[in-house]
């Protein structure tokens, strides 16, 4: 899923400072799962914003609302009738959601309440980690199912650098060395000899480096 993290209150407060009537818009997809921007977080953020504005002597009217997804037109349409009554939308979706809502409502500012951090997993309750950089050309079959692009701090494709120590990355001891994981995994698969296969210089044109990407499926288009 896409993992996000709510922005600091001060930053959000500064963003909505010009407005007195806003919609705080949650998303029931990824950001609900990672407890950053779902219905529950919409309630918590709205209550905090109301309280802080009240304390500052300038109350704010907040409409709390959550969509099934903010990355599909059909759901974004659900707020069309309420939008004209507000001055701004504070979206708690990922960056894709914020932008897609903005594209649908050009007459109203749409502001981001969360920082979109990565494509990752829930390792434990309250603990998410990155797994994929969406490079557009998956090589997990070559690296024991562990991605060196996402999990090595230098995205090295042919093995660990000289900074790998006790299974940890040179960047800091909180980061597991991705290549240590790959080697361990190849070992447990009985495929350690695969480490010596040279992985050639990568074609990054399928990644963001090729410009903004799109997927077109003619068989599905109407």
Partner 1 sequence: MKSASRLEKVLESGQFAVTSECGPPRGADAEVIRKKGEILRDVVDAVNVTDNQTSVVRMSSVASCFILKGMGLDPVLQMVTRDRNRIAIQSDILGAAALGVNNILCLSGDHQVFGDHPKAKNVYDMDSIQLVHSVKTMRDEGKFIEGEEIKPPPKLFIGAACNPFADPFEIRVPRLAKKVAAGVDFIQTQCIYNLDKFEEWMKGVRDRGLHEKVYILAGVTPMKSVGMAKYMKNMVPGMDVPDEVIERLKGVDKEKRAEEGIKICIETIQRLKEIEGVSGVHIMAIEWEEKVEEIVKGAGLYPRPQV
Judged on CB neighbours under 10 Å (0-12, 13-18, 19+), 63 is middle
| Beta carbon of residue 138, minimum distance to partner 1 (angstroms, whole number) | 18
Distance of alpha carbon 162 from alpha carbon 13, whole angstroms: 45
Longest Cα pair distance anywhere in the chain, in angstroms?
A: 69
Helices 39-55 and 9-16 meet at what angle, rounded to 10? 70
Strand 61-67 vs strand 21-27: parallel, antiparallel, or unpaired?
A: parallel
> Per CB under 8 A, does 165 bind partner 1?
yes
> Per CB under 8 A, does 142 bind partner 1?
no
Burial state string for 40-59 with b = 16 or more CB within 10 A and e = fewer than 16: ebbeebbeebeeebeeeeee
190 φ, ψ to 5°?
A: 70, 30
Provide the mask over 20-49, with x wherever binding to partner 1 is found by CB under 8 A and - wherever it is not.
Answer: ------------------------------
Rounded to the nearest 10°, the torsion over CA 122, 123, 126, 132 is: -50
Cβ proximity to partner 1, 40 vs 187, nearer residue: 187
Site for partner 1 in 174-213 (CB under 8 A): 177, 179-180, 183-184, 192, 195-196, 198-202, 204
> Per CB under 8 A, does 159 bind partner 1?
yes
Token digits of residue 207 = 């990644």
> Per CB under 8 A, does 132 bind partner 1?
no
| Beta carbon of residue 188, minimum distance to partner 1 (angstroms, whole number) | 13
Cβ proximity to partner 1, 87 vs 206, nearer residue: 206
Cβ proximity to partner 1, 73 vs 187, nearer residue: 187
| Beta carbon of residue 131, minimum distance to partner 1 (angstroms, whole number) | 18
Cβ proximity to partner 1, 28 vs 185, nearer residue: 185
Q: Among 17, 171, 189, 205, which residue interacts with partner 1 (rule: CB under 8 A)?
A: 171
Report in angstroms the alpha-carbon separations of 83 from 24, 93, 114, 209.
Answer: 11, 17, 21, 36
Q: Among 52, 122, 155, 206, which residue interacts with partner 1 (rule: CB under 8 A)?
A: 155
Cβ proximity to partner 1, 92 vs 177, nearer residue: 177
> Per CB under 8 A, does 143 bind partner 1?
no
By CB under 8 A, name the binding residues for partner 1: 153-168, 170-172, 177, 179-180, 183-184, 192, 195-196, 198-202, 204
């Amino acid at each position: 899923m896409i993992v996000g993290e709510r922005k600091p209150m001060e930053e959000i407060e500064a963003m909505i400072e010009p407005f007195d009537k806003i919609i705080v818009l949650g998303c029931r997809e990824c950001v609900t799962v990672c407890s950053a921007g779902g219905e529950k977080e919409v309630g918590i953020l709205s209550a905090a914003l109301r309280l802080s504005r009240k304390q500052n002597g300038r109350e704010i009217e907040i409409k709390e609302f959550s969509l099934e997804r903010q990355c599909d037109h059909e759901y974004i349409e659900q707020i069309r009738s309420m939008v004209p009554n507000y001055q701004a939308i504070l979206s708690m979706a990922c960056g894709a959601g914020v932008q897609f809502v903005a594209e649908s409502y050009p007459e109203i500012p749409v502001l981001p309440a969360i920082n979109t951090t990565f494509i990752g997993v829930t390792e434990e309750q309250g603990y998410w980690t990155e797994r994929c950089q969406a490079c557009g050309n998956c090589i997990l079959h070559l690296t024991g199912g562990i991605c060196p692009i996402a999990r090595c701090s230098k995205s090295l494709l042919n093995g660990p650098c000289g900074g790998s120590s006790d299974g940890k990355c040179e960047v800091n001891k909180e980061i597991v060395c991705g290549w240590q994981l790959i080697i361990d995994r190849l070992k447990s698969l009985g495929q350690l000899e695969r480490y010596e296969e040279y992985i050639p210089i990568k074609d990054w044109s399928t990644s963001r480096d090729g410009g903004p990407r799109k997927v077109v499926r003619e068989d599905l288009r109407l």
